[in-house]
Structure 1
Amino acid sequence: MSYKVVEKFISINGEGQRAGQLAVFIRFAGCNLNCSYCDTLWANEKNVDYEVMTLEDIYTYIESTGVKNITITGGEPLLQDNIFDLIKVLTAENELRLEIETNGSVSIKKYYEKLNHPPSFTMDYKLESSQMEDKMNIDNFNVLTQKDTVKFVVGDMKDLIKVKEVIDEYNLTEKTNVYLSPIYGKINYQDMVDFMIENKLNDVSLQLQLHKIIWDPNQKGV
């Protein structure tokens, strides 16, 4: 049972419910989408360099770090062969807190149906500026819980208008955590706050990508 790992490192969570906390990151190769603003395109290239790691290798590495927060990301990690087995092993450890960053196009239903302790999902909703909105799996909204997050990646005011429509249509703030994540360098943060005020976006969080503020926005391994 092996996996294609393009990066493994310790840093802080740059976004999400545990932003600012230490986490160990496992980044897998490959993705089924091609978002206009993707900041990890290199990880999606067919000829990307990767390390073949077994389930045992990944578990041993995570254990060796002493870090309790684990972020599995990509690319799209849920496309990896045998990813269910890895998630099952990691969620069985009570001391570990597993987060899966997924792009919103892949069903997450089986993880709720087949695991006693599902991981925490941070699921993107790709808006028009991504050019991938038609690939979103809306059925995922039916299984998200209060430990999960829907992350709207926002590039312009048109995206923000759609955010409100989606939140209202699916009652997302009643089901799960909702975050607005501006595309770095594409939209004014103050304009986003003004929109939130004007539209009374209660229980919605604006998040900035801490790793792009602390380090160079293009730096890997952070």
Structure 2
Amino acid sequence: MTYSVKEMFYSLQGEGHHSGRPSVFCRFAGCNLWNGKEASRATSVCTFCDTDFIGTDGQNGGKFKTEAALAEAIESLWPENAGNRFVVFTGGEPALQLTPALIRELQQRGFECAVESNGTLPLPTELDWVCISPKGSSEVVITECDELKLVYPQQNALPERFAAVKARYRYLSPLNDWTQSSLLASSHGNTQQCIEYCLQNPQWRLTLQSHKILNID
């Protein structure tokens, strides 16, 4: 198959269990919960996405016709002769394109492979780390994962709804109002709500988007 990649870059993971870890991010184009166009945002299942996942015109983006070609591009972004290789597949929704063959190709090159998914589609069992982040009223088909990261509060996706999901770690991430210009101002009230919920339900932990606070990719 041909892989459509919006962008790829090397940075620090900004949130969740691997926060602060050097990672190559491979952002696939396309999503099944929003088409990425502002005109349809209000009527989509996911209304608060702040990511551009349309097309293949981003940094190091493009179309890759083989697993080896994409794996080579990802490998080229990792520091030469450095170990602890880690790649995060994200989107959009990476499950629309991610294949076992690509994962195996990267694992053969020494990469640990992680995914950040909305959980609505099956994922390859070959993955080393699975993080799901449910959105709105969408049906989640993933019942077991390493990390459950929930944007909070969402009227149709409150933490109690996912009590049956088997997750090693559970995180709440404050909802940012995409219409606001200031990250801290828009999330302040929701951050406090996250703090209060975690204190009352200690199986949940707070995570912040440190990459945005620190202004890094």
TM, length-normalised to structure 1: 0.74
Q: Counterparts of 2:49 and 2:165 in 1: how far apart (Å)?
A: 28
Secondary structure in 1 matching 2:19? coil
Residue identity opposite 1:166 in structure 2: R
Instruction: Work out whether 1:70 is the aligned partner of 2:87.
Output: yes
Secondary structure in 2 matching 1:151? strand
**Superposed CA offset, 1:157-188 (max 9, x none):** x578x21x2354x164xx42111111232443
Instruction: Work out whether 1:38 is the aligned partner of 2:41.
Output: no
Which ranges in structure 2 are unaligned for 5 or more consecutive residues? 35-45, 177-185
**Superposed CA offset, 1:20-39 (max 9, x none):** 11111111100010211001
CA contact (8 A) 1:100 1:121 kept: yes
Instruction: Work out whether 1:2 is the aligned partner of 2:2.
Output: yes
Structure 1 moving runs of 4+ over 6 Å:
none
CA separation of 1:171/1:121 partners in 2, compared to 1, >3 Å: closer, same or farther?
closer
Q: Counterparts of 1:79 and 1:196 in 2: how far apart (Å)?
A: 32
116, 120, 124: which one aligns with 2:133 = 124
Counterpart for residue 219 of structure 1? none
Counterpart for residue 176 of structure 1? 168
Q: Counterparts of 2:116 and 2:197 in 1: how far apart (Å)?
A: 26
CA separation of 1:69/1:37 partners in 2, compared to 1, >3 Å: closer, same or farther?
same
Instruction: Work out whether 1:166 is the aligned partner of 2:161.
Output: yes
- How many residue pairs get aligned? The number is 187
Instruction: Work out whether 1:61 is the aligned partner of 2:73.
Output: yes
Which ranges in structure 1 are unaligned for 5 or more consecutive residues? 127-131, 217-221
CA contact (8 A) 2:175 2:190 kept: no
Q: Counterparts of 2:210 and 2:161 in 1: how far apart (Å)?
A: 26
Residue identity opposite 2:175 in structure 1: I
Secondary structure in 2 matching 1:4? strand
Q: Counterparts of 1:25 and 1:179 in 2: how far apart (Å)?
A: 20
Counterpart for residue 98 of structure 1? 113
CA separation of 1:52/1:215 partners in 2, compared to 1, >3 Å: closer, same or farther?
same
How far apart are residue 210 of structure 1 and its match?
1.1
TM, length-normalised to structure 2: 0.76
Percent identity between the two aligned chains:
31
Residue identity opposite 2:88 in structure 1: T
Counterpart for residue 129 of structure 1? none
79, 91, 95: which one aligns with 2:96 = 79
CA separation of 1:59/1:179 partners in 2, compared to 1, >3 Å: closer, same or farther?
same
Counterpart for residue 192 of structure 1? 194
CA contact (8 A) 1:87 1:119 kept: no
CA separation of 1:171/1:39 partners in 2, compared to 1, >3 Å: closer, same or farther?
closer
81, 101, 104: which one aligns with 1:88 = 104
Residue identity opposite 1:52 in structure 2: K
How far apart are residue 79 of structure 1 and its match?
0.5
Aligned-pair Cα RMSD in Å: 2.4
